[in-house]
Structure 1
Amino acid sequence: MKTFHSKTASTLPGLVLLGLLLSGCNSSDNNASTSTPAQDQQEKVGANLGPRPQFLVNDMDEGPLKDKLAQCSKGPFYRTDFSIGHRGASMQFPEHTKEAYLAAIDAGAGIVECDVTFTADKQLVCRHSQCDLATTTNILGIPELAAKCRQPFSPADAANGVNASAECCTSDITLDEFKQLCGKMDGFNPKATTAETFMKGTPDWRTDLYASCGTLMTHAESIALFKEARVKMTPELKAASVPMPFDGFSQQDYAQKMIDEYQAAGVPAKNVYPQSFNLEDVQYWLANNTDFGRQAVYLDDRYDSDSSFNPNDMSQWQADMQRLKALGVEIIAPPLWVLVGLDDSGKIVPSAYALAAKEAGLKIITWSLERSGPLAQGGGWYYQSISGSINNDGDVYQLLDVLAKEIGVLGVFSDWPATVTYYANCMDI
């Protein structure tokens, strides 16, 4: 892998540049109420979807849904809040980079995500995890920065069954050092014996064509970019991988600083959907930043810590969803598989979890489409509850149809937002 120490400019794909021109020429200030993400477009901004949506439609099983979607192939297509850029457009561009964000905007995402963490000097930056730099950047190729990693690179030892490893955190380096890094596709080679080969681990269903040196972003820079493009913003306050408070920086300071940066940039609360897996963060925003708190998204990951978690057990969810609503939660966001299951005929249907959330009056967002591999190969983790019924990549639209029409989700995170943009435009969402 070629080592880059800094990046001051980038060459953007033609579609991204066209998307920026469209945003600049066709947009106007949006002062409409934004109580929900979807169906809140005062302006129509053109979107460039590329060939993937049509590829997926062509791959669908024959039936009314395929016929309906096929009729929309010529567009026109417009930006929609139903389409949320997950870490940008990270199927093809390094996540949380300027290039990924611009590609998501170009593909019609009306809302784009910056996952927020902090550096050693307590500056907010966009990274999916505080300690993912070894797999999402070229830090291991810059000796003076690699030396600061929490866990330096350790080569694989095949004879003893030991995989290669490294752990580098934003909290290990300053903001100035962070800005020297290049973003790369998330991945690593567990059999690597050198740091260079460790960094070469892109999944075969992604691409490195646009990953030579992705431009890393501070949280404030992402706000400025999204504001200029007139898209909404959904920052996720990531769990710290260091003990809190960190050098006097408390969890509450952290949650407040994220909101402060929107206020400093003059971004109205109606255009921001703060997220957290930590319910206490949502409650903090409700108590201290009420306008932002009302739009806060509680990311539900209890599937990961509760061995009794069963999305199809209604008795488990009715009282729980009512409890969350009583605490002030307005929007809940579980992963895709939690919201759906299969009936006796193998048809995709809403889960008890989804029905209980709707019954309690909670709004729902879900994540993340096109994240864990081709559906033709089972789809991976995100599709585990419906793996028995999916056998082609076009089945993604069967899932989207249930999420939109039977569950009524407000929006769908996707690693390639054009897929969701196409569906939303075709169905007039």
Structure 2
Amino acid sequence: MRKALALPALFLALTTTEAAATDIGLTYGPRPAYLIDKLPEGALKEKLQSCAAQRPQRTDFSIGHRGAPLLFPEHTVESNMAAAQMGAGILECDVTFTKDLELVCRHAQNDLHTTTNILTTDLAETCITPFSPAGGGEDAKAECRTSEITLDEFRSLTPKMDSRDKSATTPEAYQGGTAPWRSTLYVDGARSMTHAESITLFRSLGAKFTPELKAPAVTMPFNGFTQADYAQKLVDDYESAGVPASDVWLQSFDLSDILYWIENEPAFGAQAVYLDDRYSKSDADEGKVDPSNPATFKPSMQELAAMGVNYIAPPIWMLLALEDGQMVPSPYAIKAQEAGLKIIAWSMERSGPLTNGGGWYYKSVRSAISDASAYYQVLDVLAQDVGVVGVFSDWPATVTYYANCMGL
């Protein structure tokens, strides 16, 4: 079994002061310059090029989405260290729980088969859906949950890039499938974290916190553990660590979680972020939010504000529309602005090189997307026209550079 996480001595020695935070050696790396060079000639390119000699500064506008999972296994020590070095002022631990009700950083309670080596270990026998090979026109499949293993067992697993090979006929082959624009270069020795350990690490890196309470894959209550217990336990970790509520942006896709925090932990509830996934998942969906039609916003933006919600965070595409071929704020974004809601967007750098319209995150402005330079074009509209207060990114240097250059 692995031992409890031992944080690097360099980072444990740091404090949360800005002076100490610069000791980790902030860097943009080569990617911002690479993307800026691809921009068409014009004011945006000229402005971003004019900042080439600027010194990187940490900014809360830049939020590490699961760390820096473009190249590092998500929710690992190494992924978050990389995000912090790229100037992300806020780091994310998606939170779920183990069989013994310990909180751990994991994007979903049931993703161990794609984010760890569980299928090639003895713990494969705990999987809800055992590995079955591809064949007969069916994809390979498996489902493995943190709620089926203890914290000690969770620690024994080795993190990997979030991927799977659906054509696999063996558990070992199923470990593959990493997108060609990601990498396995930084997988070796990657370390997972508990939620409490993420607090210690993020504070040592000079960053703030945005934990997301993930929807359980199990029926609640689970072993007597209610949804309210779950939401409260998340807050308790920050209070036990002495972290001020002003440094924490709790997140959930479940509005009832947000309302629980507003009522029971108002200091934390004031910055709770309602992650909006009320969009249609398919053409057959009904009663979902259409970003172009304010009549479908239920609850409306004003109703959310009246409930005490101050932050809303939809995917990027819900915030953008096209007008005469140009990207502009969507009616959804405009209504959120009018209600006084602060907007956070997700997630930059999650769609590879943005060829053929940029994929799901950019589907509302697909015809305006031609290549990777659109990352900065989209970011500029989000910042200057939509007025977002933060952007999640799988490679925070892209957002940090822009925020530093624009004084955000």
TM range, smaller chain:
over 0.9
Q: Are 1:44 and 1:79, in contact at CA under 8 Å, matched by a contact in 2?
A: no
Aligned to 1:343: 323
**Which amino acid in the other structure matches residue 155 of structure 1?**
P
Could you tell me how far apart the structure 1 residues matched to 2:133 and 2:38 are?
A: 42
The Cα of 1:71 is off from its aligned counterpart by 1.0
The 3-state SS of whatever aligns with 2:379 is: helix
The Cα of 1:129 is off from its aligned counterpart by 0.2
Aligned to 1:380: 359
The 3-state SS of whatever aligns with 2:63 is: strand
Partner of residue 366 from structure 1, selected from 341, 345, 353? 345
The Cα of 1:227 is off from its aligned counterpart by 1.4
Could you tell me how far apart the structure 2 residues matched to 1:287 and 1:79 are?
A: 32
Could you tell me how far apart the structure 2 residues matched to 1:189 and 1:283 are?
A: 39
The 3-state SS of whatever aligns with 1:214 is: coil
Aligned to 1:418: 397
Aligned to 1:172: 148
Q: Relative to structure 1, is the Cα distance of residues 191 and 121 closer, same or farther in structure 2, using a 3 angstrom cutoff?
A: same
Q: Relative to structure 1, is the Cα distance of residues 317 and 11 closer, same or farther in structure 2, using a 3 angstrom cutoff?
A: closer
Aligned to 1:155: 133
**Which amino acid in the other structure matches residue 38 of structure 2?**
D
The Cα of 1:280 is off from its aligned counterpart by 0.4
The 3-state SS of whatever aligns with 2:109 is: coil
Q: Relative to structure 1, is the Cα distance of residues 198 and 11 closer, same or farther in structure 2, using a 3 angstrom cutoff?
A: farther
The Cα of 1:181 is off from its aligned counterpart by 0.9
Partner of residue 27 from structure 1, selected from 18, 25, 33? 18
Q: Are 1:141 and 1:196, in contact at CA under 8 Å, matched by a contact in 2?
A: yes
The Cα of 1:316 is off from its aligned counterpart by 3.5
State whether structure 2 residue 278 is matched by structure 1 residue 299.
no
The Cα of 1:10 is off from its aligned counterpart by 9.4
The 3-state SS of whatever aligns with 1:179 is: helix
Q: Relative to structure 1, is the Cα distance of residues 337 and 23 closer, same or farther in structure 2, using a 3 angstrom cutoff?
A: farther
Q: Relative to structure 1, is the Cα distance of residues 25 and 350 closer, same or farther in structure 2, using a 3 angstrom cutoff?
A: closer
Aligned to 1:187: 163
411-420 or 225-234: bigger deviation: 225-234
The 3-state SS of whatever aligns with 1:398 is: helix
**Which amino acid in the other structure matches residue 404 of structure 2?**
N
369-378 or 308-317: bigger deviation: 308-317
Q: Are 2:16 and 2:205, in contact at CA under 8 Å, matched by a contact in 1?
A: no
The Cα of 1:25 is off from its aligned counterpart by 9.9
Partner of residue 176 from structure 2, selected from 185, 200, 223? 200
Could you tell me how far apart the structure 2 residues matched to 1:200 and 1:6 are?
A: 24
Aligned to 1:33: none
Could you tell me how far apart the structure 1 residues matched to 2:234 and 2:129 are?
A: 28
The 3-state SS of whatever aligns with 1:96 is: coil
Aligned to 1:80: 59
After superposition, what is the alpha-carbon deviation per residue over 1:29-86, rounded to whole angstroms, capped at 9, x for unaligned? 99xxxxxxxxxxxx99862110000000001111110011011112211110000000
Q: Relative to structure 1, is the Cα distance of residues 25 and 122 closer, same or farther in structure 2, using a 3 angstrom cutoff?
A: closer
Q: Are 1:317 and 1:356, in contact at CA under 8 Å, matched by a contact in 2?
A: no
The Cα of 1:318 is off from its aligned counterpart by 9.4
Q: Are 2:15 and 2:203, in contact at CA under 8 Å, matched by a contact in 1?
A: no
- What are the residue-to-residue correspondences of 1:249-260 with 2, within 5 Å? 249-260=225-236
Aligned to 1:321: 301
Could you tell me how far apart the structure 1 residues matched to 2:302 and 2:4 are?
A: 50
Partner of residue 219 from structure 1, selected from 181, 187, 195? 195
Structure 2: unaligned runs, 5 residues or longer? none
Q: Are 2:16 and 2:206, in contact at CA under 8 Å, matched by a contact in 1?
A: no
Could you tell me how far apart the structure 2 residues matched to 1:65 and 1:331 are?
A: 28
Q: Are 1:46 and 1:78, in contact at CA under 8 Å, matched by a contact in 2?
A: no
% identical aligned pairs: 55
Over the aligned positions, Cα root-mean-square deviation in angstroms equals 2.3
Q: Are 1:26 and 1:45, in contact at CA under 8 Å, matched by a contact in 2?
A: no
Could you tell me how far apart the structure 2 residues matched to 1:354 and 1:113 are?
A: 24
The Cα of 1:122 is off from its aligned counterpart by 0.4
Could you tell me how far apart the structure 2 residues matched to 1:183 and 1:218 are?
A: 13
Q: Are 1:44 and 1:78, in contact at CA under 8 Å, matched by a contact in 2?
A: no
Could you tell me how far apart the structure 2 residues matched to 1:29 and 1:6 are?
A: 30
The Cα of 1:22 is off from its aligned counterpart by 11
Could you tell me how far apart the structure 1 residues matched to 2:16 and 2:344 are?
A: 30
Partner of residue 257 from structure 2, selected from 272, 281, 287? 281
Task: Count matched residues.
Answer: 404
The Cα of 1:380 is off from its aligned counterpart by 1.2
Could you tell me how far apart the structure 1 residues matched to 2:246 and 2:222 are?
A: 31
Partner of residue 123 from structure 1, selected from 90, 102, 108? 102
Aligned to 2:74: 95
**Which amino acid in the other structure matches residue 369 of structure 2?**
I
The Cα of 1:228 is off from its aligned counterpart by 1.5
Relative to the length of structure 2, the TM-score reads 0.94
**Which amino acid in the other structure matches residue 301 of structure 2?**
M
State whether structure 2 residue 314 is matched by structure 1 residue 334.
yes
**Which amino acid in the other structure matches residue 312 of structure 2?**
I
